[in-house]
Structure 1
Amino acid sequence: MLYWFRRMTHGSKKNKGSARSGRSIDGIVSDNRRLGVSATPFHPQIGQPAGSLGNTLRRAEGFHPMRTGSGSIGVVATPAEVSLVIDEPIVLDDAVLGSGDKKSRRGPHLFKGRLSVKRAILILVALLLAGGLYMGIKFYIIERHLFRGGGGAPALASNVDINQLRGEGDGRVNILILGIGGPGHEGADLTDTVMIASIDPINNQVSLLSLPRDLWVKIPGNGSQKLNAAYAYGKQGSDSQNLIDQERDGLALLDKALQPVIGIPIHYHAIIDFIAFKQAVDAVGGITFYVPETLYDPSIAWENKYNPVIAQKGSQTFNGARALLYAKSRETSTDFARGERQRQLMVALKDKILSAGTFANPVKISQLMSSFGDNIYTDFSLNDIKRLYEVVTKIPSSDIGSLDLVTPPHDLLTTANQGGLSIVRPKAGLYDYGPLQNYIRNAMRDGFLLKENAAIAVYNATSIAGLATKQADLLKSYGYNVTTVDNVAKPTDPAKSVLVDLSSGSAKYTRHYLQQRLGVVATGSLSPDLGISPPAGTKFVIITGKDAHNSSQ
């Protein structure tokens, strides 16, 4: 080793000048002669076999002497042997240097290339992890803000507990969607949009119903006002200093005002301001749908670059700003027409949000979450949203029903003047919402009643004329399939009504609802003393008693 060190040191000093100008490859310094060729050329012995290309390529990468030493492993070489080894030229593998030109010297470049690939992969993994962490944290924060919980719909459960169904209508998921101006707008908490999205997860159906903002209703504690003021009264009259509690109080008052009008339960709420709607449309890259007729509104032309034409007839693609104008314009059309446009926009936005192009794009998802998280209130939980997504994705937009209350034969509302105010009221009369409830309950029929569609026969066992008809009409208004209305042969004037279940267990949900409505427990047999023979296929028989006379809801 000492000899090797001295020899190498001596060589370094001797060739110091040339070493500066020569190139170094893996620690071998050239003295400007061809690498691996000595001053006195080395000539192999005649007859010595040359290594084949295959043998060369099979050798490990690195440097290999032209001949191997004679020493065995573990045996120290003699000085003479060391001298021979040092004097012998070092030759790089052909696989490394090739013919010696620059293009073929790929060893270092190959190493650097592999290193670059590894670094790129590591950087990519780091970016993915950082991005995933960022999205996870962001989603957690927005989820806590957006999905506050508090609502609930029994029908949204994967396995519905029948005892959780409080009455007809719980076989659907009814969501009250409110559109407000939000901060910075005049009347920031007035609900310009009042829409019910009713989802039937049992039969995979969806219906959208718009209620006019000018509908005249009774608001508990605030007299009679337009519907759009109910939420604002509740929020502003809240005793809480917490914004979330104020919003909940506003929704609670609106529900009380709305319940006598629609006659169906509200399970969830969503409040969306103008900013959220605009940003949501922009986040998904705009929405495309067919505009049935040109919309002209000079009152908001200043928001449309002073162009009074808000939308041309035909297929249109809207960004957030144009979609918002299309949704809120009503100067040159009716409140009912505006409701129809808003339902159009909701379906188009639903399609775009649920499209593969949106869910496969993390940037769009992030933007969508941000717009929703900052400007939307809901009382969904995260699990509710997951289940709702599973249900809604099964329903094509072509199967989404768009309902209104002014198109014959369901033209149930009309405009009027109340104390100098332009309002909307039922055609049947002020505060007479019976026909309205009947239509809504049947258009949004309970999913379990729809699926079972059990035939019901109603018989009057009292001396009160028309009692069976009255009971039958009430049941029909809730979506029951009443097929027979008649009187018993001999009235007995029973105090309580009787429910007979002939379904053999095939209509358990209808049985559950009827027991709740009538306040009785069903019996499994029909008394022959009644002298009635229900038609074949009848699943339930109701024998009305005097208690049915006082039943109106």
Structure 2
Amino acid sequence: MHLVYHNLRRRLLKYTWFLKFLAFLLLVSTAIFLVFKIVPLLLKFPVQLVNFLKPPQSVLRTTSGRTNFILLGMGGAGHEAPDLTDTIIFASLNPQTQDIVLISIPRDLWIPSLRAKINTTYYYGEQKQLGGGLILTKASIEEVLGQPVHYGLAINFTGFTRAIDLVGGIDITIPQTFDDFKYPIPGQEAAIPEANRYEHVHFDAGPQHLDGATALKYVRSRNAEGDQGTDFARQARQQQVLTAFKDKLFSTQTLLNPNRLLDLKQTFSAALIHDLSDAEILALVKTAFFNPPNLRSGILDTATSSGLLTHPPVSARYDYQWTLIPQDDHQLKDYVRQLLFGQ
């Protein structure tokens, strides 16, 4: 069974906060990796130096000239269902042209071969074997999009929170005061009475300085009263935080602080799970540093009028779950192929 996307071309400027944040984490982690590990390694071992000088496309696995990744975001330890993926993104890189295509995949997508939603594949894979989460999720995405997935990366919410704290927090201007009385408290999902499962989150309009934990609440709040409870408002908050994080990340206070850079490296090492070799990381470092990428991306809109995505009736066929399925599998694969290759 395969996922269907609406016409992404009208949505190229829309990003999920986790999609963008993962992209920044990849860039920063590879930068710090270069400073603290790769340079000494290259100076000490000629073989690594030779590998670093190779063109990325000769090191990275590719199919038809593209290297494909799956990027996963999950709660991690201390959160409800820590191994269920909250965000799933397909990323395709052309190492020669630096063209990157990002496609967001809804967590409620039904995978018939597994009789489960796509957001459970990491959990089931890890239950079978250590490292099986990435393996099973990559295979499921291949089934969905009809494209191979060469590598997988996963990050938890702790990495997001810690990274913002390490750059000294962020400064934003909140456009509108809002309250969310149903923000979930990690670890209290089954608390009785039910009111104990949530906390009251309040944000005042105007200039504010946010630490990592507060920034996470600001971007994840889904039940705010009034206009701030809409998906549009949440997307705006996510982009606002991302911009503020970028400004602090690339400030001289961060880039000229070796201790802070080392802490960021350690944070990313603890928060990121991946299946790339050292040589493949070297190739990505080279790509990120010397060839700024051309990023294209889009988000699935479940309210699309194109008729490509549908919510089937809740029934035994889908284990009585609310799911998403495509109208036409072949149309989805054709669309993805055209997006990647222009044909």
When normalised by structure 2's length, the TM-score is 0.63
Q: 1:158 and 2:55 equivalent?
A: yes
- Which residue of 170, 182, 187 corresponds with 2:76? 182
Query: Relative to 1, partners in 2 of residues 1:331 and 1:317: Cα closer, same or farther, differing over 3 Å?
Result: same
Give the Cα separation in 1 of the matches to 2:292 and 2:305. 27
Give the Cα separation in 2 of the matches to 1:210 and 1:316. 30
Give the Cα separation in 2 of the matches to 1:345 and 1:173. 29
1:259 aligned partner? 142
1:299 aligned partner? 182
- Which residue of 59, 74, 95 corresponds with 1:201? 95
Give the Cα separation in 2 of the matches to 1:310 and 1:374. 30
Q: Is the 8 A contact 2:165 2:212 kept in 1?
A: yes
Q: What is the letter of the counterpart of residue 322 of structure 1?
A: T
- Which residue of 312, 320, 334 corresponds with 2:212? 320
| CA distances 1:230-256 after superposition (whole Å, capped 9, x unpaired) | 110110122xxxxxxx1x211111112
Q: Is the 8 A contact 1:197 1:209 kept in 2?
A: yes
- Which residue of 253, 256, 261 corresponds with 1:365? 261
Shift of 1:187: 0.9
Give the Cα separation in 1 of the matches to 2:99 and 2:296. 8
Query: Relative to 1, partners in 2 of residues 1:343 and 1:306: Cα closer, same or farther, differing over 3 Å?
Result: same
What does 1:398-409 correspond to in 2, within 5 Å? 400-406=295-301
2:332 aligned partner? 436
Give the Cα separation in 1 of the matches to 2:184 and 2:163. 23
Q: 1:234 and 2:129 equivalent?
A: no
What does 1:50-129 correspond to in 2, within 5 Å? none
Q: Is there any run of 5+ residues in structure 2 with no aligned partner, and where? A: 1-31, 38-52, 187-197
2:292 aligned partner? 395
Shift of 1:294: 7.9
Q: Which has the larger radius of gyration?
A: 1
Shift of 1:403: 0.3
Give the Cα separation in 1 of the matches to 2:72 and 2:233. 17
Identity %: 35
Give the Cα separation in 2 of the matches to 1:311 and 1:423. 36
1:271 aligned partner? 154
- Which residue of 275, 281, 293 corresponds with 1:379? 275
Q: Is there any run of 5+ residues in structure 1 with no aligned partner, and where? A: 1-134, 141-155, 239-245, 447-478, 481-553
Higher RCO (C-alpha 8 Å, min separation 6): 2
Count residues in correspondence: 275
When normalised by structure 1's length, the TM-score is 0.42
Q: What is the letter of the counterpart of residue 264 of structure 2?
A: L
Shift of 1:272: 1.0
What does 1:506-525 correspond to in 2, within 5 Å? none
Q: Is the 8 A contact 1:208 1:343 kept in 2?
A: no
What does 1:5-24 correspond to in 2, within 5 Å? none
Structure 1 SS opposite 2:324: strand
Structure 1 SS opposite 2:81: coil
Structure 2 SS opposite 1:358: helix
Shift of 1:424: 2.3
